[in-house]
Amino acid sequence: MIFKKARQASPSIVFIDEIDSIAPRRGLQTSSGVTERIVNQLLTSIDGLESLERVLVIAATNRPDIVDEALLRTGRFDRLLFVEPPTVAGRLEILKVHTRSMPLAEDVDLNALAAKTDGYVGSDIAALCREAGLTAIRENLKASKVTRTHFETALKQVRPSIDAEGLKFYSEFERHLQRERVAPRRDEPAGAIYR
């Protein structure tokens, strides 16, 4: 249904967030076959008889290792991009967005806070700002400012999503996919075309 509407409204974009939740590798789950039917339907919709001309399909996941391999083959999702955690400058910009309507005390240094949040992604920084605001309110229901101390308390509560081990995992997975896309599979002749 989504792909049909996208074709009718083309040019259009179909964005599937957390694709691993609807298209995990077949055979991983012991369900009643619902997951496999969903994956098969998604593959049919992307490859289908009707062209997806002028329809861009984008998907996001934090768990590329459990996405069905058929979706990762060339011809379906042709470009695989690893979006690295934001740099200090990026984290500063995210902090500015999430503190825009927050009354900050003069002792809050967003540059210093950005430097302390290595490994934090956008949602982590949003949670950090929310927690700092809630800490101020818990401390004083009539608080008029969020202080550096509130952010320091929040930093102890809200931890980063990504660490060195996680970055290594994504980097190795990316290399694995690149090798798979270049090298023919063992069970196929060298000239096989994969879709």
Question: Within this chain, do residues 11 and 75 fall inside the same structural domain, yes or no?
Answer: yes
Mean pLDDT of the chain: 84
Q: For 41-50, 103-112, 153-162, which range has the lowest pLDDT when averaged over its residues? A: 41-50
pLDDT at 165: 87
- Domain assignment present for 135: yes
Range of the domain at 93: 88-157
**Do 99 and 66 fall into the same domain?**
no
Predicted confidence (pLDDT) per residue in 139-167, tens digit:
999 999 999 999 999 999 999 988 888 88
Domain count, the chain: 2
> For position 52, which CATH number holds?
3.40.50.300
Note whether 35 and 101 are same-domain residues.
Answer: no
Both 170 and 78 in a single domain?
Answer: yes
Whether residues 50 and 6 share a domain: the answer is yes
Rounded Cα distance, 105 and 111, in Å: 14
Same domain, 25 and 75: yes
- The closest alpha carbon to 173, from 78, 71, 67, 27, belongs to 67
Domain contains 188: no
Highest mean pLDDT, choosing among 8-17, 126-135, 161-170: 126-135
Residue 115 belongs to some domain of the structure? yes
